[in-house]
């Protein structure tokens, strides 16, 4: 019987299936960070348990870490305590921690792939909903809560109910100025933030095959914003080229054996998905969100929706409430709307190709002096590479802030935040009320759109600057 | 966890779709290393003004909420971040169930592990409940987990779905980890037949 890659991953990780209980799945890689782990380690202590497989577990500090000078003490004492707790917990339980001062520190979803830890055919979990990022390698990767973090630390297993399979087929060629971020924003705008609930996405089609690994990670990263706990892409030569030579990637004969396994992963022809949707890449335009969830997105030159035109009363109220929070008026254009901050970073768009894209627009130009523009690399490695390529010089010459690696203004836990009422164009993944700072207002877009808007000071279609 | 028992409660209506976990508890409160003391931060940015004073028009600040244990919310409740702080904050405030037409996957899993029952009902029942509580804030619903039914104020018994294992854990007041650890033999067998391709403890360049 033909199987999808999702079913193959599921079947190959089944430890046990007992009547009356969900399946017990083995987890190949557990990523840990400071925010969702302390209560789990405490739980282990209270039960007198050890970490079963420290060799399949790795920690880093990303959410509450400052992106300013790391040689200085951390001002926020609560964050400092949480970061110190991570180091203590990892030392006590024998877990490797790429902490505040590690030269491999970075956003958990940037460093896993970068180190070659994320590999095709794996199950990957983390107490973070953007774990779907790792699906770009043909892994089944999903976010878990803190109780589940504790379960995995203790047993390296998770009880899971089987998800439905959902093929997202993206065919065609992206036009100039349109990028991976626009694919995923378009999908979420089409199916809504609950559209993939209960499902795992598999992204297929010529437009997906044409993407680099960095771009594939951008697409898979925001699966959760479409309601799907995981999203993945079958591995191919692009995947293998990315992995070859990475620190933890297999070497020599082990590489050949791994390649033979990985090539068995793609969905068999004739396999049937529970659901399917198709997106025409040729017709895509740069996307932007206007509201307070990632499903409230549209092509950048479209008019804002009119609540009065929505028939369902609760949906109408939701749009009206979102527009009120955002200080926007239905029917008007969003392009040209003044902004205060541009944020280029996050687990969605902080990799080297994202920084290259932003730099390609900013090169030889200046950002609007009224704006604050933050460029936050996803990891120390991305930071080093960007410096080596001269990208940091481009950002600094343009008038951007070039900061240290972390989640930064995506989640605004570390002091990098919007002031109440401020508008940002942000390459991050969530535009929820207050996500980037209490009262802050977020327009989600691609690094190209963010860079273009940084120059003009208003929401800008990058194609006008290319 | 205490065993989950049947109960009757008034409803706290929050007629907003897609309530995300950043609204349930904003990220700035996630710097804690404890599970405790999160009830004041529940819906913080909807609940308090810039000076930290309760906004009288927000439902959680109204006297009618006292003692109510069921939140009645719009579609797709709990989307967004995986933070388990969301069900911690909801239960510490006193909620034992949330009713919606649908729930985000991670939120569902987190809630069931914290004795918070996500009850998904069809749109007509959902609308009926909002109408009933709008007409009379004092109306109550009855929740019977063993029977998997919600009894509406009008007396209609509506079935709701729940995973059988999660139901068992709730009713017995036990958590998953005990069960998982009992599968040691199967886990060990899996490990020995599936050598791991990585070792995070190896320092490699």
Quick one: which H or E segment has residue A203? Answer: strand A199-204
| Residue B1 belongs to some domain of the structure | no
Q: Tens digit of pLDDT for each residue in B110-146? A: 999 999 999 999 999 999 999 999 999 999 999 999 9
pLDDT at B1: 81
Q: Is B190 on the interface with A (CB under 8 A)?
A: yes
Domain ranges, ordered by start, for chain A: 5-160, 164-283, 287-464
Q: Tens digit of pLDDT for each residue in A256-309? A: 999 999 999 999 999 999 999 999 999 999 999 999 999 999 999 999 999 999
Cα–Cα distance measured from residue A220 to residue A348, given in angstroms and rounded to the nearest whole number: 9
pLDDT at A385: 98
Cβ contacts of A128 on chain B, cutoff 8 Å: 81-82
pLDDT at A312: 87
Here the contacts of A321-324 (C-beta below 8 Å, separation 24 or greater) are A321/A292, A321/B16, A322/A290, A322/A291, A322/A292, A322/A293, A322/A296, A323/A290, A323/A291
Chain B, residues 157-176, CB within 8 A of chain A, namely 163-165, 168, 175-176
Cα–Cα distance measured from residue A223 to residue A128, given in angstroms and rounded to the nearest whole number: 13
Cβ contacts of A430 on chain B, cutoff 8 Å: 20, 22, 80-81
Cβ contacts of B205 on chain A, cutoff 8 Å: 247
List chain A residues with pLDDT less than 50. Answer: none
Helix axes A180-191, A213-221, angle to 10 degrees: 20
* Kind of pairing between the strands at B149-151 and B157-159: antiparallel
Percent pLDDT > 70 in chain B is: 100
Interface with chain A: mutation pick from B111, B200, B202, B204, highest number of A CBs within 10 Å: B200
User: Mean pLDDT score of chain B, rounded to an integer?
Assistant: 97
Cβ contacts of B190 on chain A, cutoff 8 Å: 15-16, 26
Phi and psi, residue B178, nearest 5°: -55, -45
| Residue B154 belongs to some domain of the structure | yes
**B30/A413 touch (CB, cutoff 8 Å), yes or no:** yes
Chain B, residues 102-131, CB within 8 A of chain A, namely 102-106, 109-110, 113-114
CATH code for the domain in which residue B90 is found: 3.20.19.10
Q: Tens digit of pLDDT for each residue in B64-93? A: 999 999 999 999 999 999 999 999 999 999
Q: Which domain holds residue B62?
A: 7-204
Q: Is B18 on the interface with A (CB under 8 A)?
A: yes
Cα–Cα distance measured from residue B70 to residue B63, given in angstroms and rounded to the nearest whole number: 15
| Residue B173 belongs to some domain of the structure | yes
Which residue matches tokens 């992106």?
A67
Strand partners, A89: none
pLDDT at B203: 81
Cα–Cα distance measured from residue B76 to residue B122, given in angstroms and rounded to the nearest whole number: 12
Q: Is B194 on the interface with A (CB under 8 A)?
A: yes
Q: Which residues contact A113 (CB under 8 A, 6 or more apart)?
A: A133, A134, A136, A137, A213, A217, A242
| Residue B2 belongs to some domain of the structure | no
Percent pLDDT > 70 in chain A is: 100
Q: Does CATH place domain A287-464 in 3.40.140.10?
A: no
Residue A396's CB: how many other CB atoms inside 10 A?
Answer: 12
**Residue B205 binned pLDDT confidence (cut-offs 50, 70, 90):** low
Q: CATH code for A5-160?
A: 3.30.499.10
Cα–Cα distance measured from residue B128 to residue B29, given in angstroms and rounded to the nearest whole number: 35
| Residue B26 belongs to some domain of the structure | yes
Number of structural domains, chain B? 1
| Residue B59 belongs to some domain of the structure | yes
pLDDT at B204: 74
Let me know if the fold of A164-283 is the same as that of A287-464. Answer: no
Specify the CATH class of A164-283 in words: alpha beta
* pTM for this predicted structure: 0.97
pLDDT at A461: 98
Cβ contacts of B83 on chain A, cutoff 8 Å: 35-36, 145
């Amino acid at each position: 019987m033909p199987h999808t890659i999702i079913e193959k991953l599921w079947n190959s990780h089944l430890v046990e299936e007992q009547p009356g209980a969900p399946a017990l799945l083995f987890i190949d890689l557990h990523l840990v960070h400071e925010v969702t782990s302390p209560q789990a380690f405490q739980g282990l202590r209270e039960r007198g348990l050890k970490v079963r497989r420290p060799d399949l577990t790795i920690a880093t500090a990303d959410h509450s870490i400052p992106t300013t000078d790391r040689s200085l003490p951390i001002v926020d004492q609560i964050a400092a305590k949480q970061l110190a707790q991570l180091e203590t917990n990892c030392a006590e339980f024998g877990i490797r921690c790429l902490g505040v001062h590690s030269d491999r520190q970075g956003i958990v979803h940037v460093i896993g792939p970068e180190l070659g830890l994320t590999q095709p055919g794996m199950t990957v979990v983390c107490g973070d909903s953007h774990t779907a990022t790792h699906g770009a390698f043909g892994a089944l990767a999903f976010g878990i809560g803190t109780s589940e973090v504790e379960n995995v630390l203790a047993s390296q297993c998770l009880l899971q109910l089987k998800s439905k399979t959902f093929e997202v087929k993206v065919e065609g060629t992206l036009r100039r100025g349109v990028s991976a971020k626009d694919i995923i924003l378009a999908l979420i705008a089409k199916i809504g933030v609950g559209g993939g609930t209960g499902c795992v996405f598999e992204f297929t089609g010529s437009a997906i095959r044409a993407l680099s690994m960095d771009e594939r990670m951008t697409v898979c990263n925001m699966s959760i914003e479409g309601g799907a706990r995981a999203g993945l892409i079958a591995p191919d030569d692009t995947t293998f080229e990315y992995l070859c030579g990475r620190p933890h990637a297999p070497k020599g004969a082990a590489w050949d054996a791994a390649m033979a396994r990985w090539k068995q992963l793609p969905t068999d022809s004739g396999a049937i998905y529970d659901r399917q949707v198709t997106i025409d890449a040729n017709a895509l335009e740069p996307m932007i969100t206007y509201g307070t969830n990632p499903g409230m997105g549209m092509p950048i030159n479209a008019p804002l929706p009119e609540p009065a035109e929505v028939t369902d009363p609760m949906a109408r109220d939701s749009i009206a409430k979102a527009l009120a929070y955002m200080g926007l008026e239905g029917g008007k254009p969003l392009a040209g709307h003044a902004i205060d901050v541009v944020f280029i970073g996050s687990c969605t768009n902080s990799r080297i190709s994202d920084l290259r894209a932003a730099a390609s627009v900013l090169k030889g130009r200046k950002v609007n002096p009224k704006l604050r523009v933050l460029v936050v690399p996803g990891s120390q490695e991305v930071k080093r590479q960007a410096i080596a390529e001269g990208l940091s010089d481009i950002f600094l010459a343009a008038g951007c802030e070039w900061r240290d690696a972390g989640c930064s203004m995506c989640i605004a836990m570390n002091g990098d935040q919007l002031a109440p009422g401020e508008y940002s164009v942000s390459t991050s993944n969530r535009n929820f009320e207050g996500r980037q700072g209490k009262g802050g207002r977020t327009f989600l877009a691609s690094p190209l759109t963010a860079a273009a808007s940084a120059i003009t000071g208003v929401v800008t279609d990058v194609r006008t600057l290319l | 966890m205490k065993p989950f028992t049947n109960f009757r409660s008034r409803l706290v209506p929050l007629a907003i779709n897609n309530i995300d976990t950043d609204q349930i508890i904003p990220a700035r409160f996630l710097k804690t290393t404890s599970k405790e003391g999160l009830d004041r931060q529940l819906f913080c940015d909807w609940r308090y003004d810039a000076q930290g004073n309760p906004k009288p028009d927000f439902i959680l600040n109204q006297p009618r909420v006292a003692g109510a244990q069921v939140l009645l919310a719009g579609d797709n409740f709990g989307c967004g971040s995986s933070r388990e702080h969301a069900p911690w904050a909801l239960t510490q405030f006193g909620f034992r169930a949330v009713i919606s037409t649908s729930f985000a996957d991670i939120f569902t899993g987190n809630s069931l592990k914290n004795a918070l029952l996500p009850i998904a009902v069809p749109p007509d029942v959902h609308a009926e409940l909002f109408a009933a509580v709008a007409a009379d804030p004092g109306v109550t619903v009855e929740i019977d987990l063993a029977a998997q039914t919600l009894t509406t104020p009008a007396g209609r018994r509506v079935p709701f779905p729940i995973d059988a294992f999660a139901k068992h854990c709730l009713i017995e007041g036990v958590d998953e980890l005990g069960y998982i650890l009992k599968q040691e033999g199967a886990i060990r067998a899996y490990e020995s037949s599936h050598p791991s391709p990585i070792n995070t403890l190896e320092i490699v360049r």
